[in-house]
Amino acid sequence: MTEQTTTDAPHRLRFEHLDDAVLGAGVARPRLSWQLPVGATRQTAYEIAAGDWSTGVVRSAERVLVPYTGPEPATRGRVEWRVRVWTDLGESDWSASAFWEMGLLQRSDWSASWIRPHELDVPEPGYRPVYALHSDVELTGPIALARAYVTAHGIYELVVNGQRIGDQELTPGFTAYRSNLQVQTYDLTTALHEGANDLGAFLSDGWYRGLFGYSRTYDNFGDRTALLAQFEVTYADGSTTVVGSGLGWGSTISNSTEADLLDGQRVVQRLGGFRWDRRDWQPVLEPTDPLCADWSRLCATPAPPVRRVRSITPASVTTLEGGRHIVDLGENTNGWIHLDELRPGSEIVLTHGEALDADGDVTTDHLRPDADSPTPSPFNQIDSVVSVGDGQAFEPRHTTHGFQYVAVDGLPGPLGTADLHGVEVRTDLRPTGTFHCSDRRVELLHEAAVRSWRTNACDVPTDCPQRERAGWTGDYQVFVSTAAFLDDIAGFTDKWLKDLASDQVPNGMVRNYVPSPEAAVGGVEGSSGWGDAAVSVPWQMWQSYRDREVLARQYPSAVAWLEFVKTTARTARAPERIEANPEAPEHEQFLWDTGFHWGEWLEPGVEIALFEGEHSIVATAYFANSARLLAKTAEVLGKAEDAARWTELAANVEHAWATEFIGADGRLARDSQATYVRALRFGLIPEHLVPSAVEHLVELIRAEGTHLSTGFLSTGMLLPVLADNGRADVAFDLLFQDTSPSWLTMIDRGATTIWEHWDGIDAKGTPSGSLNHYSKGAVIGFLHQYVAGLRPLESHPGYERFAVEPVLDHRLDWARATLETPFGLASSSWRREDGAVRFEVVVPADTECEFRVGEPVVLGPGTHVITF
């Protein structure tokens, strides 16, 4: 994106959901967006121009995702576009221009071939090297323009004339490789020069064939890595040359003798770094992986890239007896360590973990997948470097770690906080939302939830950045609306949803995590609350970003999921029900009481029993909710018949749920907070029974000494449900609760990210489970939407109209939330002042705000101050 300098023109020109000037685009007819000139409040018309083409003056207020209708660019084609608008300030200047350039779109655009390293025997997983692949090219004149189009099976770094190209990490990213493989496009205009040039890449296992997930499976997509790279040069005289990867390239093991995304990287430095001018190249091999033959998988990415987004100065370094240094970053993160000024000859070993044991040493025992079993699986996040001491720093690029602490072994002499720093590595999302309030602990909770979310947004929404790093559908489903407040996740989610649909099983079942490595479906998939992401996440994209295209593209996937649930409910009955009643009562065809379910998952005090437990009360609730959401989706997409069909289904399922699970006394069949919360949130309780259900939910909370007892699925709904039903007092009691289980217990025990278990670090200081699992952090949605009161309205997606309805509590003196909506900056803040409350609301151009304190009023664009 080219930032406009004058304030009299539209600015922040966007291509789809991307801010930057886009190279290698895959969409020829993108949707374009812009912000109005400073001070304008209403757009009445716009004109988009690109080259000789223009829309002419279009009388319209549209400026979010406006379809481009100009000439369609061909492969490699570039469109420079700009826009001017008519607003209440009159006619604007033309904006600065933005551009997108198309990537290689068809098989015929590629002359490069896939190659694979010279690897005759495949080493053990976790111990496989980073290969260097190389060729050289003689360029015969001055260069006007040069591009590289690159992708890989594995993770690659592009290196031209000894220089690493670009600032993207972990390329080509993690996708459903069997269906989608992203190609990156690089500008090499200044990296290449007339004469001899070195072309190269480093290539490691990455997600393609490295260790992955809870079960540490490997070779998940194939057992060989491969590279595809095409270099295109336009000379100053207009002539062109194209060279690409192919037989004839050379291969060798790089200085990184071992690298695994999960386990870590080992580097043996050589004087002067890796020598690209070496002579001992071995010939690359032809790929054997059948996927290399499928060119239809190649695609551009709609998402921002993974980058090194921040460096973190350690809070402290302590040295244990024996010389082991313990580095504390002061916060939990995802990424790696940058180590400066190594001394020659030493082998330095870095062990990354999230917690310290009683001796102050780094422990990772709690991160072993099956930590409680007598023979738990290994868990390593260990990097090592053998240094030459010639000034080369150490920074791995083919592994990431979830960590706060690093144990450093083998370093002779002292280590100080200035000798190294943490590097946060994740998707470079544009931050959009903020929250602050008068209570520091609540702010720290907010910060921890934000950090947990962001450090888990590493190309896919992972459950945790250490143990599994899998794009668990359930985790994203519970958090996506909160994530959409904090960051612009539209492109990131667009990418993930496409993979969700690609990996969906033909019967409609959604995989546990996306992308999903295993080709075969295990017995533990298709769970309610997880697979429902297929319906609720696209809906969120519509709600937060007005992205109708993604909603429409995902519709068949959402329908397939619901059909899967419907068919399962209709055709299978739980053995207990058959036994109790051989003849199925009418409503049972809408009960989802078979299949595998995680259930509410991780309720405090409830033992994990994977294949036990009756989850139909959870599953059928999600069935009803997804049917309702799908009906709304169909309505937005103009599919009236479908909408009617899903509405009828929803009503039948709701009826079945009520028949089966609401007793004659109005009590629910399972007496848990989660059950009540979910039922109230999903509207499963008939209106006349709602007050007593709310009262009982409060009784359950009070019976626990005003503690929550919700698990994975309903924790984020708990406070909103209480506030929506007139019990904001109890919601705030839970928010401020600081004995376990509670959110503030985590903060008081030093959490900088949200824990998987409520007692992730128990009262004795013993860690269990992952200490960076964002799902419970969904509570901060309550801070945005209730405490600050900034709420989207379902009827007006993209915040075209929104509400401000703060819920005040005596424990807070002020609160403030800001949100960069698709239309511009909105904010809501309030403060107690001299016995009154002063509210300040900012309403972006082209939008309206329903201010719902006292007598509701509708506010137009601008800043409003209201005192009560």
Contact residues for ligand BGC, defined by CB under 6 A: 214, 463-464, 468, 472, 474-475, 598, 601, 773
> What is d(CA 797, CA 65) in angstroms, rounded to the nearest whole number?
13
**Least distance in Å: CB of 395 to ligand BGC?**
28
- For the CB of residue 769, give the shortest distance to ligand BGC in the complex, in Å: 8
- Residue by residue, DSSP assigns 741-794 as SSHHHHHHTT-SS--SSTTSB-TTS-B-S-S--GGGGGGHHHIIIIIS-EEE-T
Q: Cα–Cα distance between 208 and 218 in angstroms, integer?
A: 8
- Min dist. Cβ of residue 458 to ligand BGC (A): 15
Phi, psi (deg, nearest 5) at residue 775: -55, -45
Output the smallest distance, CB 388 to ligand BGC, in A.
40
Q: Confirm if 528 and 615 have CB atoms less than 8 A apart.
A: yes
Nearer of residues 379 and 545 to ligand BGC, judged by Cβ: 379
When the beta carbons of 603 and 820 are compared against ligand BGC, the nearer one is 603
CA distance linking residue 826 with residue 356, whole number of Å = 42
Beta-bridge partners for 195: 139
Number of alpha carbons in the 13 Å side-chain half-sphere of residue 187: 10
H/E element, 329: strand 325-339
In angstroms, what is the minimal distance from the CB of 533 to ligand BGC? 11
* Structure-token pair, residue 258: 């071992």
Q: Return the H-helix or E-strand segment holding 83.
A: strand 78-87
For ligand BGC, give the closer residue by CB, 99 or 476. 476
34 versus 758: smaller Cβ distance to ligand BGC = 758
Q: How many CB atoms are closer than 10 A to CB 593? A: 21
Annotated catalytic residue, options 600, 756, 805, 820: 756
Cβ of 504: how many Cβ atoms within 10 Å? 22
Phi-psi region of 558 (alpha: psi -120 to 50; beta: other; left: phi over 0): alpha
Active-site choice (468, 600, 805, 848): 468
Residue of minimal CB distance from ligand BGC? 463
- What is the Cα–Cα distance from 67 to 58, expressed in whole angstroms? 13
* β-sheet bridge partners, residue 283: 250
Cα-based distances in Å from 42 to 10, 796, 854: 12, 17, 27
Farthest CA pair distance, the chain: 87
Q: Which is nearer to ligand BGC, 512 or 829 (CB)?
A: 512
Would residue 756 show up in a list of annotated catalytic residues for this protein? yes
Nearer to ligand BGC, 601 or 786 (CB): 601
Considering the complex, what minimum distance in angstroms separates the CB of residue 541 from ligand BGC?
21
The nearer residue to ligand BGC, 303 or 470, going by C-beta atoms, is 470
Residue with Cβ nearer ligand BGC (171 or 536): 536
Distance, in Å, from the CA atom of 848 to the CA atom of 495, rounded to the nearest integer, reads 31
- 286 labelled catalytic: no
Minimum distance between the CB of residue 770 and ligand BGC, rounded to whole angstroms?
6
**From CA 202, how far away is CA 213, in angstroms rounded?**
24
| d(C-alpha 628, C-alpha 675), whole Å | 19
Question: Closest separation between CB of residue 504 and ligand BGC, Å?
Answer: 18
Enzyme catalytic residues: 468, 756
